[in-house]
Amino acid sequence: MHTTLSAGYKGLTGDAAKIKQGDDFLSQIVPVIMASKAYQDHGVIILWWDESEQDGVAGDNPDDFNHTIGEIIISPRAHKNVNGLPYASPVNFTHSSDLRTMQDIFRVGPYLGDAVNANDLSDLFDPGAVPKKP
């Protein structure tokens, strides 16, 4: 959704056009991935934002724990909804959490960068869905 749109997207301009373009892409690609053999064989789709937005306050730094970024897990083994609402984890995650989890799943080590200190994503899944690195 970081593309620059010179003439807008379907009559939209700026951020609204970028969001619409990203939504349209995901509405097409996610069903294709979900229909794949890889996804159906215990696969997962992880959608995450790579940066947070500033709050519009002078001197604001969006890249800290005072700002959150979204991460959506699509999987039959994802944590179940709670009271009819999508599960929202109370655990602080970073991009290093994603890296740590991928290293655990693929049993690759040693942990890279801050993955050694990060929480893994296991709270977003059913118990036992994310293997622990031996």
Q: Does residue 94 lie in a domain region?
A: yes
Neighbours of 102 (CB within 10 A): 15
Helix (H) or strand (E) holding 45: strand 45-48
Q: Are residues 69 and 117 in the same domain?
A: yes
Cross-strand pairs, 48: 71
In this structure, the answer to whether residues 18 and 81 fall within a common structural domain is: no
Same domain, 58 and 115: yes
User: What is the span of the domain harbouring residue 19?
Assistant: 1-35
Residue 120 inside a domain? The answer is yes
Q: Can you give the pLDDT of all 134 residues of the chain as single tens digits?
A: 555 444 455 556 566 777 788 889 999 999 999 999 999 998 999 988 776 666 666 776 666 666 677 788 999 899 999 899 999 899 988 889 999 999 998 899 999 999 999 999 999 998 878 777 65
Residue 29 in any domain: the answer is yes
pTM: 0.74
Domains held by the chain: number: 2
Q: Is residue 5 part of a domain?
A: yes
Q: Flag whether 130 is in a domain.
A: no
Residue 133 maps to a domain: no
Q: How far apart are CA 32 and CA 41, in angstroms?
A: 14
